[in-house]
A = this chain, B = another copy of it.
Amino acid sequence: MDKQVLFLKFFDFITSVHQTTHAFTKGAKLEDVTPVQYKMLEYVAVSQPVTLSSIGDCIHMSLPNTSREIKKLMQKGLCEKVADADDRRKQLIRLSEKGQQLMNGIFGHMLSQLEGRIGTLSDEKLKEIEQALDLLHDQVFRT
């Protein structure tokens, strides 16, 4: 097994995943949300409610900057903040109704994009794809 060849294949693969991701979110209406703010929304959507600190950890941003960007998202009416009852230093962030609708729209858009790519495949093929996702996730892209 030529590791060099496999590496090139990885590199190519990673590039195409990035491009596909870009194509997926492209076209979804993100009116007033910057790239970093979108990453935050994505993380909050999946993990809510979350503390400011964990958002910062996840997207590699300092607490002051995280605080600033969350503040902007709240001003846009996309996020809400609740003080943690157990530890009142902590602020729990979750999507507002409007933010939830925004993310639902985006996930729906991504879903239809994906549907366009794999919609016509047989169940058997889909099983193969699922297994391939699992394999690479576990063996290579584990975090």
Query: A142 vs B23: C-alpha distance in the bound complex, in angstroms?
Result: 11
Query: A6 vs B134: C-alpha distance in the bound complex, in angstroms?
Result: 11
B-chain residues with CB within 8 Å of residue A12 when the two chains form the complex: 137
B-chain residues with CB within 8 Å of residue A11 when the two chains form the complex: 46, 107, 110
Query: A127 vs B139: C-alpha distance in the bound complex, in angstroms?
Result: 12
**Smallest beta-carbon distance A95→chain B, Å:** 16
Please provide the chain A residues from 1 to 45 with a CB less than 8 Å away from any CB of chain B in the complex.
Answer: 1, 3, 6-7, 9-14, 16-23
Question: Known interface pairs A14-B21, A135-B128. Does A140 touch B123 (Cβ–Cβ under 8 Å)?
Answer: no
CB < 8 Å: which of B111, B121, B128 contacts A7?
B111
Q: Is there contact, CB below 8 Å, between A137 and B13?
A: yes
Cβ-closest 6 pairs across A and B: A132-B132, A16-B141, A20-B141, A1-B126, A17-B17, A19-B143
Q: With A22-B60, A132-B135 given, can you name 17 additional A-B contacts, CB distance below 8 Å?
A: A3-B111, A6-B114, A6-B130, A7-B110, A7-B114, A11-B110, A13-B136, A17-B18, A18-B21, A19-B143, A20-B143, A114-B140, A118-B140, A121-B139, A128-B135, A129-B140, A132-B136
